[in-house]
Structure 1
Amino acid sequence: MAIPDRQQRLLQKLIEQAQPSSLEELQHLLNSLIGSPLPEIPEDDLTPQDRAFDLVDEAWESSAAKGASLTWQALELWPDCIPAYEYLSAVSKSKQQRIANIEKAVEIGQR
């Protein structure tokens, strides 16, 4: 079963914050999370990238108009947000817009 992007990012953030120094410490951390929801990370601890990813996740669950607005907010926070360009490509009405957004995502990914 695939882990949703937001949950995967949250889990990665929790691991980074815990800074396990051994495989055993990492296993202990992961075991402590089994059977309960992942704890939320305080807003102050989120990076612009984290916030941008969250906005794009929300965009996928919103109407097209609201989704586009959320995606542009994500790009204001982090202009290199590849998932934002993927979203914009998916909802673009013209072939040219779809291609331009995918090209931008590829350009960012190649840096």
Structure 2
Amino acid sequence: MKTRHMGYVHYGISTERSEELQKLAKLKENRELVQIAAEQSRSELAKYIVESLVEGISYERLYRKYWLPYTADDFYGYKRRAIFIFDMLLKLQKLYETGKIPKQKGEPTR
């Protein structure tokens, strides 16, 4: 299935969870994870996906500001994928912080 046709349901994300993730993406402490998720989703769109998630800007506003070479369907498809990746990164971070994923040898402590 093409990315543009993938909805949150295809990623196993409920409407409520997607709304929660979009709020979490706006928090400064999650900025690095949002950037990583956007890069992994579609590197060419990462800057715009991050701006959309962090500032709540729509495709239409981004298109007028930057002239994006992607359709709205494509943009939102990659944005949904970035939200899915962001969700996975948050879950991994939680496992790491709770000690369920052991620290690697030589890894700096935080």
TM over 0.5: no
Higher-RCO chain (CA-CA 8 Å, sequence separation at least 6) = 2
Instruction: Give the TM-score normalised by the residue count of structure 1.
Output: 0.32
